[in-house]
Amino acid sequence: MSNVTTNFNDRTIEYEQLLNDFKSLLKKNNLKFTIQREVILDTLYNSDEHLTPELLHHRIQSKHPQLKTGIATVYRTLALLEDSQMVTSLSFGAQGKKYELGAKEHHDHLICTECGTITEFVDEDIEKRQHDITDELGFKMSDHSMQIYGICKKCQKQL
Amino acid sequence: MSNVTTNFNDRTIEYEQLLNDFKSLLKKNNLKFTIQREVILDTLYNSDEHLTPELLHHRIQSKHPQLKTGIATVYRTLALLEDSQMVTSLSFGAQGKKYELGAKEHHDHLICTECGTITEFVDEDIEKRQHDITDELGFKMSDHSMQIYGICKKCQKQL
DNA sequence: GTCGCTGCAAAGTCTTTGCAGAGAG
DNA sequence: CTCTCTGCAAAGACTTTGCAGCGAC
């Protein structure tokens, strides 16, 4: 394999930037910037993993017990963020949706069916082919997502 | 664009074959071949679309009203078929899962966010890159799925 | 102050499960 | 005949919504 253009976990978005985007978004829609909303954004940002609403809620409760953030607020905020394209959701397994930050910072997913870990990657060749395909069909692509399921290196050793 | 290897809707699985696979599967697990199960398989086979459990149930009720097939049976059978890799599920939009036949006959998906239509395609280049990527990482791929979201040609005209 | 936001609990969805009778092997 | 399936209805899991008080601006 020669010219490999694949990059893994190339995180580039700054939190400041993100927070500003969020604030602009809120202002633009006459919405308010609340502690809960900030904590949710922050928790999402500081999680490498993809979080379920439940997990996110739990993590917030542990870290900010005084807030008593309700699960409803988590759902409401995730919906808001998803509508605004600030987070993306992935459906994984039988049930449940997992959320991650940064739709702008596009990447695809390697999902280990043993441990549930999601690894992100971007491959230029695939991205290019996707555009070729949609162009060919006159399909106006707005987004795409790819998931590869299998067993990660670590889990293979343990089996 | 020169050597295009993309193919659309290349349906090759025969119903006979499918039915036999299903029967073998059932026999192997000491399960019974019931009318309901056959009707579900048949309905899936004769739908070009990807069906939700609800839609599938509704379609069965219309076509075979005398059976009074319960939605629970539809769910149970879909779970069985999915476990056995005879159908695959796709999560689409906010809610709901859509099922389609033939995990063996792999393909990716173009999903129109306007009309909800799902078009299938296979692209050799992408398939190859996926293998390269997983090989590179020591990840043992068992399956993968790709969805491209956007607006199809037809809907673009109508907007 | 105003008006959107939040937590709570109640209400919705969608899916699964328990059970007793029906039916495949 | 036996043991799995099925439909029904009830129970579950996950999300959304209504409301009254709270808090950002």
With residue B16 as reference, give the H or E element that holds it.
helix B15-28
Closest-CA distance, B138 to chain A, in angstroms, reads 5
Residues A99, A113 share a domain = no
Share of chain B above pLDDT 70, in %: 82
* Residues whose C-beta lies under 7 Å from strand D: A 26, 32-35, 52-54, 71-72, 75-76, 79, 95-97; B 26, 29-32, 34, 36-37, 67-70, 72-73, 76-77, 94-95
For residue B1, what are the CA distances in angstroms to A13, A127, A131, A148, B139? 34, 15, 11, 27, 31
pLDDT value of residue A114: 66
Residues B88, B122 share a domain = no
Residues A145, A89 share a domain = no
Tell me if B39 sits within 8 A of B157, measured CB to CB: no
Residues A98, A36 share a domain = yes
Residues A59, A20 share a domain = yes
Residues A97, A32 share a domain = yes
Residue at a domain's end among B86, B104, B122 = B104
Closest-CA distance, B91 to chain A, in angstroms, reads 6
Does residue A4 belong to any structural domain of this protein?
Answer: no
Strand pairing report for A87-91 and A7-8? unpaired
CATH number reported for the structural domain that contains residue A127 in this entry: 3.30.1490.190
pLDDT in tens, A113-124: 666 677 888 888
Mean pLDDT score, A18-24:
93
Question: Is the overall model pTM greater than 0.75, yes or no?
Answer: no
pLDDT in tens, B75-132: 999 999 988 888 887 765 555 677 777 644 567 888 776 666 778 888 889 899 999 9
Residues B56, B128 share a domain = no
DSSP A42-101: HHHHT-SS-B-HHHHHHHHHHH-GGG---HHHHHHHHHHHHHTTSEEEEE-SSS-EEEEE
Residues B88, B124 share a domain = no
pLDDT in tens, A31-72: 999 999 999 999 999 887 778 899 999 999 999 999 999 999
Nucleotide D9, nearest residue via CA and C1': B72
Strand pairing report for B140-151 and B108-112? parallel
- Domain tally, chain B: 2
Residues A121, A87 share a domain = no
Nearest CB partner across the interface for A126, out of B126, B145, B151? B126
Contacts of B83 (CB under 8 A, 6+ apart): none
Does residue B3 belong to any structural domain of this protein?
Answer: no
B143 pLDDT band (50/70/90 cuts)? confident
B122-149 residues labelled b (16+ CB within 10 A) or e (exposed): bbebbbebbebbbeebebbbeebbbbbb
Residues A61, A32 share a domain = yes
Does residue A52 belong to any structural domain of this protein?
Answer: yes
Does residue B42 belong to any structural domain of this protein?
Answer: yes
Does residue B35 belong to any structural domain of this protein?
Answer: yes
Q: What mean pLDDT is reported for chain B?
A: 82
Which is nearest to B121 in space by CA: B2, B45, B15, B11? B11
Residue at a domain's end among A104, A122, A140 = A104
With residue A122 as reference, give the H or E element that holds it.
strand A118-122
Residues A90, A13 share a domain = yes
CATH number reported for the structural domain that contains residue A31 in this entry: 1.10.10.10
Q: What mean pLDDT is reported for chain A?
A: 82
A141 touches chain B (CB under 8 A): yes
Closest-CA distance, A66 to chain B, in angstroms, reads 31
pLDDT value of residue B12: 45
Does residue A2 belong to any structural domain of this protein?
Answer: no
Tell me if B51 sits within 8 A of B98, measured CB to CB: yes
Structure tokens at A106: 């596009």
Domain hosting A17: range is: 9-104
Does residue A1 belong to any structural domain of this protein?
Answer: no
pLDDT value of residue B13: 54
Residues A99, A59 share a domain = yes
Mean pLDDT score, B61-87:
93
